[in-house]
Structure 1
Amino acid sequence: MRIAVVGAGFAGLSAAKVLRQSGFEVSVFEKSPDVGGVWSSTRRYPGLRTQNNKGTYHLSDLPMPAHYPQWPSGEQVQQYVESYVDRFGLRPVLRLATEVVAAKLVDDETAWLIASRPTGGRDPATWERYDHLVVANGIFSEPLIPHFEGRADFVAAGGRVLACGEFHDLEAARGKHVLVVGYGKSSCDVAVPLSDVAARTHVVARQLLWKMPKKLGGAVNYKYLLLTRMGEALFRYIRVKGFERFLHGPGNGLRRGMLDGVGSVATRQLKLRELGLVPNGTFEDIARSTVSLATDGFFERVADGRISVHRDRQISELLVDEGRPAARLADGTVLPADLVICGTGFRQHVPFFDAALHARLEDDEGNFMLHRQILPVDVPHLTFAGYNSSFFSPLSAEMAAVWTAAHLRGGIALPPRERMREQVRTRLAWMAARTNGQHARGTSIIPFSMHNIDEVLDDLGLNLGPLARARQWLLPVDPRAYRRVTPRMIRRTAATAPRESVSQPA
C-alpha cells in the first residue's frame, strides 16, 4: 500500500514513522524547505517558545535533549524535529519544498491522485497514484488576518500588515510604531521582543484571555496543575466517569474552589487588577478553547509602559494620518502604526481539496466530521493527523497515527457509518456549546487531551494499565509512557494485516 502524507510537522512525521514501521510505503510532501510545521524557520516569529515544558512536549520514543531549557525556543523545537527525522530514517521519504496543489479520488474511489510541484514554481504539476492519503497540513498553518477597511491606502503610505508567522526580522520594527492585534500566545510572545526595539508597541485585544503563570506563586510549575489527568478532570467532559463524577457532582464546590484559587493567585502574581487586565468571566474560561501561558516579561512591560494594551477594542480601519500609516480603534482612538502584526487565529482548511470534497468532509457549519478526530465518515481511503490539537499535541498526533496504522492493517472494528455520524454530530454540538464556537471547526480538543488518547487506544485495546494512568492523575503526563504502543499494535494486528504490510518496527 502506497500512502501519501501531506505535511512534515509533528503529526505528519510521526504518521510517516508509525506507518513505515507498520510496513507501508510512505511519501511525505512538505511545502516548506524544512521540517517542523509551525516550528519551521519559515514561520518562526521572534519570541516563539513552547507552551509546554520540554518533558511533556515530545514524541513517545524521543525525549527533548537534556540541555534544552524548560520551555524550548522555536528554533530548538525545529532542531528536535530534525533529530526525529534522522533517528528514524525518514529523510529518504521526505519531499521538501514540494507543494501538493490538488488531491482527488479516482473515479471508482479506490485510490487517490495527488498533484504536486516545487513550492512557488509554475511548472505543470506531477500526478501520482496512492492507495491512501493522510492529511497532516496543520490546523495552525493558514493565518486568518481580519479584513481592515482602508488597508490599500495604508500600505501605499508604507504601512505593513503581517501575520505573526510572517514576521521574522526584528530589525524591521526598530524605531517603528507597531500594533499587535490579538491577546493569545503568539501576540503576547511577539510583543515582548518588539517592545525592545519599537518606538511604541500597542496590543489591541478584542477579548482578554486568562493567562497561567509558568510557575504559580513563583514556585509550583503549571505542569502539576493542568498537565495531569487531575487538571483535565477539573473541566467537564462530554461523559464523566470514575472520580470525575465526584468532581462534577458532590465535589463540585471543591472543584470550583480549586479553579478560583488558581485564578486568584494568577491575578495577584501577574498584577492583573492593577494593570486593568483582569479578563471577563471566571478562571474556568481558561480552557474554553485554549490555555495561554503568561509570556515572560509581558506584564512587566505593560507595567513600565513599554507595551500598551487596549482591552475590549478592535481596529475599525487603517488609514493615513498626516501622511503616516495609522489605525483607528472602535472607540475613536487613532494610533500611529507603521507595522500591524496579527495574531488573530488560523483557518482550518485543506487547500488541495475542491469544494465538493470539502462538502463531504464537513457538516453544515463547516466543522470537520471526523470519527475520533481521524477518520472521515463519508470519504474513503483518507485519514487526518494532527486534527486533535491538545495540551500534548505531539503525543496526541502520534497516537492518532497508531490508530490509522491499525485501521489500515485491519485491526479496528468500526461502528456502523450512521452511528459514527451521529457520534460525531453529538460531539461537535457539545464542543461548540462549551467553547462558544471557538473549537477550530471541531479540531481542538483542549483541555481533554488524555480523554482523546484514551478513546483512541481503547479502540485498539492498547491503553496503558490502571497503575500507569493513576500516576498521571498527580504527575505530568510523560509521553515516554507510550513508547511501546506502536510495537504492541504491530504485533496485535499481524494476523489481520495485509500480507505485504506485516513487519516489525525498526
Structure 2
Amino acid sequence: MKIAIVGAGFAGLSSAKVLRAVGHDVTVFEKAPDVGGVWSASRRYPGVTTQNGKDTYCLSDFPMPADYPEWPSGAQVQAYLADYARHFGLESSLRLDTEVLAADLGDGVWTVRTASGGHETTGTFDHLVVANGIFSEAAVPVFEGADAFTAACGRIDAASDFHVLDDAAGKNVVVVGYGKSACDVATALDEVSATTTVVARELLWKLPKMFAGVLNYKYLMLSRMGEALFRYVELAGFERFLHGPGRPVRNSMLGSVQSLILRQCGLEKLGLRPPGSLEEIARSTVSLVTEGFYEKVAAGDIVVKRDTQIARLEPGRAVLGDGSTIPADVVVCGTGFHQRVPFLSEDLQARITDDRGNFELYRQIQPVDVPELSFCGYNSSFFSPLSAEVAALWIAARLDGGLHLPGPAEQRAHIARRLAWMEERTEGKHARGTNIIPFSLHNIDEMLDDLGTPVRGLQRLREWLLPVDPADYAWITDEIVARHRTPVRPLRAAPAA
C-alpha cells in the first residue's frame, strides 16, 4: 500500500518504521524543517526537558544515548529522533518543511495536497495515518486590550513559540498557566527577566522528580502498581482489591505521597497547596515539579498569582480578575493545546467525532466508519513513545487483516462508554478524548491483547514493582513484523501534480 503519514514526531517516525518493515511504501509529511514533533527546534522553549527519565521515554529497540542526563533536554530528544530516523533508514521517506494543506478521501483513495517552498504538490495514497500530535497547535487566550498592548511593544506568545532566552532580558514577564510548560518557561526566563509573575487560574498537583531527594518518582508512578492506584473504567485482578476491600490501603498510599509532596515542596508555607487531594492529578495532565521553581517562589524571584486570570492587557501591564495590576512587557502562555486535524474536511471530521467534538477512535486509533484512516499518538500517556510504537504495530496488523476486532456496533458502544467515563473523570479535561493519563499501561495492554501478544509472567510481575522498561517490548515488534511482512510489490504511479 501507499501510505501517507502526517507528522514526524515519535508517532510518525515509529509508524513509518513499522509500516515500511512490513512492506508498505511510506511518505512522511512534516511541516517543520526537522523531525521531532513537539521536540522540534521550531517549538522548543527555554528550559524544556522531558518528564520521564531517558530509560522510560524512548522507543523499544533504540535506547537513548548513555551519556544523556536522566531527564534529557528538548534538543537532546530531537537529536535522538533524528538518529532514530537515520538508524532505521527513514530519511528517504521524509518530506520535511512540507505542510499538508488538505487530505481528501474519495472512492477509497486519498488525495493529499501539500505545500513546500512556495510550491504545491498533489499525490494519491491508499491509507492515511494522522500523527500530527495532540500538542500540535498551541491554545493562546484572546486577551482584551491585546492590540493596544502589542502596539506599545508588548509581546504575546505561546510557550512553544518563545525560543530565545534573551528576548526576555530586562523585561517584565507574565506567564499564564501552571502546567509543565508554564512552570518550565517561568523558571528559565526568570534568569534574565526584570520580574516574573505566574498567573494561574487553577493550581495543579505536581510530582517531584526525586522524592525526599533520593527516590526517583518513576518507582512510584511509572509501574503497574502506581497506575493501579487510580480507578480504571474496568477493573481486573488486583485492582478489584485496591478499589474494593483494599481501598483504605490504597488511600493510605496516596495520602503518604501527598504528605511528602506538601512537605518537600513547602506548598503550605508558599500558599500554593492545590485544591482537593493528590487524586486530582489523574483528572488532567500529570506534571512534574520544575527544578528550581518553588525555590524561586520562596526567594521572591517568581510571584504566583493563584486562582485568577488576566482580565485585560494595557500598555506595560496586565489587569487581573480582582482589579489588581502587574507589570507586563512579555506574556507567555502555557495554556494547553488544541487537538485539531485541519487538513481533513468538515464532513470527514464530523464522521470521526461525536456531537461534543470528541474523537471517536477505537483503541484511540481507528475511526469505525473510515477504514482508510488511522491515528497514531492520540493516546497521550506517561509512555508516549511506547504507546505510539504499539499503536503503529496495531495499525500494521489491522491493514493486513490480522486483528480480530468486535463489530462496528460493539466498537461504537465501547467508544461511547470510554468517552463518557473520560469526560466525567477529567471534568472535561480529556483533550477531546486523546488524554489517557495516567492509564498508559492499560491502553498498551488492550492493544497488545488485540495483537495476540500480551505481557505475561515475570515481565508483568516485574512491572508491578518496578518502572516499565520499553526494551522489554522490542520482541513484539519483531514478532508482528515477521507475522505481517509481505513481499514488496510494484505500486501504481501517483498522478503528476
TM-score normalised according to structure 1 size: 0.95
Q: Give the Cα–Cα distance (whole angstroms) in 2 for the partners of residues 382 and 160 of structure 1.
A: 39
- Amino acid across the alignment from 1:350: V
Compute the displacement of 1:286 (Å): 1.2
Figure out how many residues of one structure are paired with residues of the other and give that number.
490
2:104 corresponding residue in structure 1: 104
Are residue 415 (structure 1) and residue 406 (structure 2) matched? yes
Compute the displacement of 1:490 (Å): 2.6
2:366 corresponding residue in structure 1: 375
Work out whether residues 177 and 200 of structure 2, in 8 Å CA contact, stay in contact via their aligned partners in 1. Answer: yes
Report matched runs for 1:25-424 at 5 Å. 25-106=25-106, 108=107, 110-118=108-116, 121=118, 123=119, 125-320=120-315, 325-424=316-415
> Relative to structure 2, which stretch is displaced further, 285-294 or 358-367?
285-294
Q: Give the Cα–Cα distance (whole angstroms) in 2 for the partners of residues 405 and 286 of structure 1.
A: 34
**Structure 1 gap segments, 5+ residues each:** 502-506
- C-alpha offsets along residues 405-431 of structure 1, whole Å, 9 cap, x if unaligned? 000111012211111111000000000
Compute the displacement of 1:465 (Å): 2.0
Work out whether residues 409 and 498 of structure 1, in 8 Å CA contact, stay in contact via their aligned partners in 2. Answer: no
Work out whether residues 22 and 484 of structure 2, in 8 Å CA contact, stay in contact via their aligned partners in 1. Answer: no
Compute the displacement of 1:24 (Å): 0.5
Q: Give the Cα–Cα distance (whole angstroms) in 2 for the partners of residues 345 and 40 of structure 1.
A: 17
Q: Give the Cα–Cα distance (whole angstroms) in 2 for the partners of residues 144 and 157 of structure 1.
A: 23
- Amino acid across the alignment from 2:473: Y
SS at match of 2:147: helix
SS at match of 2:190: helix
Compute the displacement of 1:498 (Å): 8.5
Q: Give the Cα–Cα distance (whole angstroms) in 2 for the partners of residues 500 and 414 of structure 1.
A: 27
Work out whether residues 402 and 489 of structure 1, in 8 Å CA contact, stay in contact via their aligned partners in 2. Answer: yes
Compute the displacement of 1:438 (Å): 0.5
Compute the displacement of 1:248 (Å): 0.3
- Amino acid across the alignment from 2:425: R
Compute the displacement of 1:275 (Å): 0.2
SS at match of 1:376: coil
**Structure 2 gap segments, 5+ residues each:** 491-497
RMSD value, Cα:
1.1
Work out whether residues 23 and 488 of structure 2, in 8 Å CA contact, stay in contact via their aligned partners in 1. Answer: no
Work out whether residues 410 and 493 of structure 1, in 8 Å CA contact, stay in contact via their aligned partners in 2. Answer: no
Compute the displacement of 1:218 (Å): 1.2
Compute the displacement of 1:93 (Å): 0.4
Runs ≥4 in structure 1, deviation > 6 angstroms? none
SS at match of 1:483: helix
Work out whether residues 136 and 384 of structure 1, in 8 Å CA contact, stay in contact via their aligned partners in 2. Answer: yes
The equivalent position to 1:485 in structure 2, one of 458, 462, 476, is: 476
SS at match of 2:275: coil
SS at match of 1:238: coil
> Relative to structure 2, which stretch is displaced further, 149-158 or 177-186?
149-158
TM-score normalised according to structure 2 size: 0.97
- Amino acid across the alignment from 1:155: T
Work out whether residues 354 and 360 of structure 2, in 8 Å CA contact, stay in contact via their aligned partners in 1. Answer: yes
Taking a change above 3 Å as real, the CA distance of residues 407 and 181 of structure 1, as seen in their structure-2 partners, is same
- C-alpha offsets along residues 310-334 of structure 1, whole Å, 9 cap, x if unaligned? 00010011112xxxx2110001111
Identical amino acids, percent of aligned pairs: 60
SS at match of 1:375: coil
Work out whether residues 23 and 487 of structure 2, in 8 Å CA contact, stay in contact via their aligned partners in 1. Answer: no
SS at match of 1:328: strand
